[in-house]
Amino acid sequence: MANLLIVGPPGAGKGTQAARIAEALGVPAVSTGDIFRQNIKDQTELGQRVTAILDAGEYVPDELTNELVDDRLAQDDAAEGYLLDGYPRTAGQVEYLDGVNLRRGEQVDAVIRLVADTEEVVRRLASRASEQGRSDDTEEVMRHRLDVYERETAPLIAIFEERGLVVEIDGIGAVEQVTERILAGLAERGITA
């Protein structure tokens, strides 16, 4: 059982690594971005509400995101742990997640921090935008999202560092190499498959 977070700037490879690590550990990878994109694709009420927010490169309000995450972690497949990708992104979301975990009688076991050079991240995002046709990945929006990440999310690392939870990983390199680095970093903390 492991409750994990994966953090890093947009384009650092969080989604790819989250899926690989979650599968290796037997826990669900929960991506708030994927949940939002699916709702947009399905043109649900939620999807319509968040389209304008995401297209502007902003974050969805905490209240809405918290509700989605709480509901998702209450599902059966998350009973033995989870790997959250894209959440928490604000101090308010950290507090909310602490409350969810308290109700579960658990806590976050580790925070995987992917570190990546800004220009490499912009290159990756541009490539992803053209491959997937993602409207939220124009260069202007990408750079804005990186600024928002630095301003709002990066300071959360200090909270997790104070708790001794951060496992810092070089996010640049072949997908398999990065996965191996993450699994080795988690194993050092006693978190194994």
* 41 a catalytic residue: no
Assess whether the previous peptide bond of 28 is cis (omega < 30° from 0). Answer: no
Q: Which domains does the chain have, with CATH numbers?
A: 2-187 (3.40.50.300)
Instruction: Evaluate if residue 9 carries a pLDDT over 90.
Output: no
**Of 89, 113, 124, 181, which is the active-site residue?**
89
Instruction: Provide the pLDDT for residue 96.
Output: 97
**Catalytic residue (one of 14, 20, 72, 124):** 14
The model's pLDDT over 131-177, given as tens digits with 9 standing for 90+, comes to 777 666 677 888 888 888 888 877 899 999 999 999 999 998 899 99
104 catalytic residue (yes or no):
no
Is 163 catalytic? The answer is no
Q: Is 124 assigned a catalytic role?
A: no
Cβ contacts of residue 89 below 8 Å, gap of 6+? 59, 65, 152, 153, 156
Are 168 and 184 within 8 A, CB to CB?
A: no
Give this prediction's pTM: 0.83
Q: What is the mean pLDDT of residues 17-36?
A: 92
- Is residue 20 part of the annotated active site? The answer reads no
Give me the catalytic one of 37, 113, 145, 181.
Answer: 145
49-100 pLDDT, tens digit per residue, is 888 887 788 878 898 899 889 988 999 999 999 999 989 988 899 999 999 9
